[in-house]
Amino acid sequence: MHFDIITCLPELLESPFQHSIMRRAQDKELVSIDIHDLRSYGKGPHKKIDDYQYGGGAGMVMMVEPLAECIDGLQEQRAYDEVIFVTPDGERLNQSIVNQLSLKENIMIISGHYKGIDERIRDHYVTREISIGDFVLSGGELPVAVLVDAISRVVPGVIGDGTSALTDSFQDDLLSPPVYTRPAEYRGWTVPEILLSGNDAKIDEWRYQQALERTKIRRPDLLDQVDETIE
């Protein structure tokens, strides 16, 4: 799948996509990412991309012209399944949304900055608005990195063991169960015997019960969502 990312601070996105799973995903040509510097479309000798709000108020706003020209240019090159704006007032990101987006082919993501972007861009270009949580950051670059990473890791082939992503927290509306590795005993702290039994069926049942119990304690709201879906 392909991502086009529009940002006024491209350097903030260089490192997250150049290491670990994201690097391997690109090397295997399962995911491609192009980062576009909005200042290339800025106005005047200073490549201006922001201005004061109409009506007054604190904070600068990303201008409509540079964004529109950048988006128009990208849309001339390919058709997009989604044009996403990351914003605190968007729908809250969850694993279900991530799974949906992982099935897309081309996604454009707009990283906001300052007070936000001119509302006309949201009205005429944006197809989906996503938030990573109920808080505000200095810019949209970190949320963009989170979104792209979350989507990419569930693209088939990106993770070597495909079942690993399928057993992550939230995939089945439960938190993941506890995990252990060698040694089986350390400082008197032992691994549950069931995990050493070799009985796959009993291990699976133990893991499910542990995931259910952990979810009940830490995120009971997830179980409420499951109940609503069943109803």
List, for residues 96-124, the tens digit of each pLDDT value: 999 999 999 999 999 999 899 999 999 99
Tracing tokens 């997830």 back to the chain, one arrives at 222
Q: What angle do CA 80, 85, 87 make, to 5 degrees?
A: 165
Domain range summary for the chain, segments of one domain joined by +? 2-152, 167-230
What pLDDT digit, counting tens, does each position of 126-152 carry?
999 999 999 999 999 999 999 999 999
Three-state SS at 117 = strand
153 neighbors 48 (Cβ within 8 angstroms): no
50 neighbors 62 (Cβ within 8 angstroms): yes
The CATH number that domain 2-152 falls under is 3.40.1280.10
Whether the model pTM is above 0.85:
yes
Taking the C-alpha atoms of residue 221 and residue 217, their distance in angstroms, rounded to an integer, is 10
b or e along 205-225 (b: 16 or more beta carbons within 10 Å of the residue's beta carbon)?
Answer: ebbeebbeebbeeebeebeee
Structure-token pair, residue 156: 């088939």
Q: Which CATH class is domain 167-230?
A: mainly alpha
Check if 2-152 and 167-230 are the same fold: no
Which amino acid belongs to residue 47?
K
- The whole-number average pLDDT for the span 198-213 is 96
Which amino acid belongs to residue 133?
G
From its phi and psi, is residue 61 left (phi > 0), alpha (psi between -120 and 50) or beta?
Answer: beta
33 neighbors 17 (Cβ within 8 angstroms): yes
